[in-house]
A and B are shown apart, each in its own frame.
Chain A
Amino acid sequence: MSDFAGMEDLLQDFLTESSELLSEVDNKLVELEKRPDDRALLNDIFRGFHTIKGGAGFLNVDAMVSLCHRTENLFDKLRNGELQLTPEIMDEILMATGAVRDMFGAMAQSRLPAPVDPSLLERLDNVLEGKELHATSAAAATPAPSVATPASQASSPQPNGEEHNWQQLYDVLLDQVPSTSASSEPQVIESTATVIETKPATPVAQVADPMLSLKPAAAVPATTAQRAQSNAASQQLSTQETTIRIDTVRLDQVLNLSGEIGLTKNRLTTLRSDIMSGKMDTGTLKALDEAIGQLDLLVGDLQNAVMKTRMQPIGRLFQKYPRLARDLARQMGKDVELIISGEETELDKTMLEDLNDPLVHLVRNAVDHGIETTEERIAAGKPAKAVVELSATQVGDHIRIEITDDGRGMRPDVIRRKAIEKGLIDIETANSLDDKQSLQLIFLPGFSTKDQISSVSGRGVGMDVVKTNIQKLNGRVDIQSIVGDGSRFTISLPLTLAILPVLVVKVCDQPFAVPLAMVREIITIRQEQVQEVSGRATIVVRDEILSVRSLANLIGWEEVQVPQFGVLMQSAEHSFILAVDSFIGRDDVVIKPLQHIRPKGIAGATLSGDGSIVLVLDMEDLLASTHADHSAIKTSRFAQDLV
């Protein structure tokens, strides 16, 4: 049952907007550590807490109100110079933002968040009380009841009487307004001001104290609290947002185009009746051709426009990471700065969400494993402060995300040795791997280069998940690393998953679609080019030895003819030639998932221009399913097929 019955819409809005706001606050806090006296930053952070508190008040989330109230006051004091920011205070503030984020997590599941850890509130209060406490703003735990007469106000046992006192005071003043002045406004104002000034502030201060000590100061072991926090945080990450915010300009474009398509449809309807009634002169046919041509353009534009409504700046993800890197670096006693660029690069919303886990892992990995300890850095003659760069750029129809660290780099020989030690590969395989391929070993399940398992980057479950997640998005991860200089992880992703450019090939008279992103080139296969290398059919293309795989065999069919063409495919870790009978051409398709059945190696189906069904191949899946059985693609077999 929802704790927010009747307010679900509002809750959604609040969570979307406040989460962004909180991420901004988090980032500004990281900035603030560098420039503790920056008034603009202090103001922004103050306003952030203030705004969240305001919204939380309307949703009756008392715990959040009371927490944000304290942080807001804290920043009020900081910006007024009444308090000086110390690392200790910063820690409390960061704890507080963490707690607020956890509450968002609870609220996302329609639960009212649990009260804040009382010891955190107490510590914040202690910080606040470092200076004299005077009447501050309202910690409105409940929505203010409609303000009535002073009498009813006085009798209401509200713990936050402070606010009501002011409300009451102001109401008294406003009540005087109509009675004392009928005409000129300035006069009213003056009288109002005077009355307020003559009112002593003491009653308010008295109420303020009991309010602040409302929460019992029960001691909760800090570790438990932290664990609970991280649990809640991971829970929150897994819940996907179901709403999206779209620039109205983009929405208008969609509207415009669908209107135009409607007009073109009308034109076609008219032409149809003409043609049906036997009017088939050149003029009519030309008009038909024009109308269809126009429809073609418009539909393309509409697809683009709709796709754009799903595009979100990647900055929404990136903004969470400086804080992550900072916390982790601090915990490990390292000095790391995360530099972010390309936040405005846009990516499909669903991809953005699925990218979070891999990116979090890569950032953590860079800080944890990539960056050396400060001592090691100094010994190696590097600056003590390490830099991790996270960038996003659009390259053609792909998005490239890079995570670069200036750490110790990865040694291919060490990685190979570890992989053998852990029994992930045999020595023979290890020897056949070049340095680049060796780096890819870290993506194997169960691989962890650290003997000492770190509590931070996990225990070797992670890098493989990074890779699988990226592959699910039709993307790939490449690693570059220079020993002593650092490593770079490059993620390449298609712009969107909604529309997939494919190459349509034909095998056994049936069309199949292959993701165009993987296609490097198309070659003709001549039998004399096929060579046997360690029992596998290969072709040398520009000095590169590539294995040949027959699509018919991969999907478990008997070939009906000798494959004529080879599609040079490139996936994350290997290149190979996919042997097919013939081509139909390239196409932009919308993949429809298959229901109830999931054949190996098939991502889904789509309709071709003539209305027939084309299966879209999932190459990684297809290869994985046959990987265990290498004999299936032995040369002898292939040669037989060729003969």
Chain B
Amino acid sequence: MADQNMRFLVVDDFSTMRRIVRNLLKELGFTNVDEAEDGQVALHKLKNGQFEFVVTDWNMPNMTGIELLKAIRADAQLKHLPVLMVTAEAKKENIIEAATAGASGYVVKPFTAATLDEKLKKIFANMGK
């Protein structure tokens, strides 16, 4: 089981959506959550904080989720961070793009706490190996 104190960064330009994800994480027992409103802010926070998990939206101004993902994977310090893409972009090419860029998981909006739990568990299991 994952550490309940695990530090999450939720990235979305829509604050309602950040709150939704935050609430769902809380339902799953993860309360150590910070937020960022786009990829740029997220990257800045990631570089300065001890985050252990990134949940990011895809479509954002300034820096998109996929750009953030690529930046994380390109950063020596951050590249091992698990990144879960939360988005409505369920297109084939998007999934390929996310996977190619190194997304640890992909969850399509809207989703329930149970779905999120499942995704997280898969990622944790993967990380454990």
Contact = CB atoms under 8 A, between A and B. Distances in A.
Interface of A: 10, 13-14, 17-18, 21, 44, 47, 50-51, 53-55, 57-58, 60, 135-138, 140, 143-147, 162-163, 166-167, 169-170, 173-175, 177-178, 182-183, 185-186, 189, 192-193, 196-197, 199, 201, 204
Given A58-B110, A144-B108, A178-B126, A17 B15 contact: yes
Contacts of A169: 95
Given A47-B61, A57-B110, A138-B88, A196 B96 contact: yes
Given A51-B13, A144-B108, A185 B102 contact: yes
A352 to B, nearest CB: 20
B91 interface: yes
B118 interface: yes
Interface string B116-129: 01100010011001
Contact of A57 (B105, B109, B118, B129): B109
Contacts of B16: 10, 13-14, 17-18, 55
B22 to A, nearest CB: 11
- Nearest 4 CB-CB pairings of A with B: A146-B114, A57-B110, A192-B99, A58-B110
B59 interface: yes
Interface residues of B, number: 38
Given A10-B19, A144-B112, A189-B100, 14 more contacts: A47-B61, A51-B13, A51-B17, A57-B110, A135-B92, A136-B91, A140-B110, A144-B110, A144-B111, A146-B117, A146-B118, A170-B106, A177-B126, A196-B92
A196 B93 CA distance: 9
B41 interface: no
Contact of B89 (A51, A55, A137, A174): A137
B106 to A, nearest CB: 5
Contacts of A143: 110-112
A174 B90 CA distance: 15
A312 B5 CA distance: 37
B20 interface: yes
B105 to A, nearest CB: 6
Nearest to A76: B91
A53 B16 CA distance: 12
Contacts of B129: 178, 182-183
Contacts of B50: none
Contacts of A51: 13-14, 17, 59
Contact of B14 (A44, A55, A197): A55
A51 B106 CA distance: 17
Contact of A54 (B102, B106, B109): B109
A47 B14 CA distance: 10
Contact of A53 (B88, B100, B101, B114): B88
A163 B125 contact: no
Contacts of A186: 102
Contacts of A47: 13, 59-61
Contacts of B14: 17, 21, 51, 54-55
A58 B95 contact: no
Contacts of B32: none
Nearest to A166: B90
A186 B101 CA distance: 9
A173 B14 CA distance: 29
Contacts of B122: 174-175, 177-178
Contacts of A145: 112, 114-115
B95 A170 contact: yes
Contacts of B126: 177-178
A199 B57 CA distance: 25
19 contacts: A10-B20, A13-B16, A17-B15, A21-B14, A54-B88, A57-B109, A58-B20, A60-B110, A138-B108, A145-B112, A146-B117, A146-B118, A162-B90, A166-B95, A166-B108, A167-B90, A174-B122, A178-B126, A186-B102
Given A18-B16, A58-B110, A178-B122, A144 B115 contact: yes
A174 B105 contact: yes
Contact of A140 (B102, B109, B118): B109
Q: Name, among B92, B110, B114, B118, the residue most crowded by chain A CB atoms within 10 Å (CB to CB).
A: B110
B92 to A, nearest CB: 6
Contacts of B60: 47
A139 to B, nearest CB: 9
A413 to B, nearest CB: 55
Contacts of A138: 88, 90, 108
Nearest to A167: B108
Contacts of A175: 122
B40 to A, nearest CB: 16
B88 A140 contact: yes
A163 B17 contact: no
Contacts of B57: 54
A464 B20 CA distance: 45
Contacts of B115: 144-147
A133 to B, nearest CB: 13
A382 to B, nearest CB: 40
Nearest to A182: B129
Interface in B43-88: 57, 59-61, 88
B92 A166 contact: yes
A132 to B, nearest CB: 15
Contacts of B95: 166, 169-170, 196
Q: Name, among B57, B108, B109, the residue most crowded by chain A CB atoms within 10 Å (CB to CB).
A: B109
A302 to B, nearest CB: 28
B53 to A, nearest CB: 15
B112 A57 contact: no
Contacts of B59: 47, 50-51
A175 B126 CA distance: 10
Contact of B90 (A10, A137, A193, A201): A137
Nearest to B97: A193
A54 B110 contact: yes
Contacts of A147: 115, 118
Nearest to A138: B90
A636 to B, nearest CB: 68
Contact of B99 (A13, A53, A58, A193): A193
Contacts of A197: 96
Nearest to A52: B14
A196 B110 contact: no
Contacts of A182: 129
Nearest to B80: A185
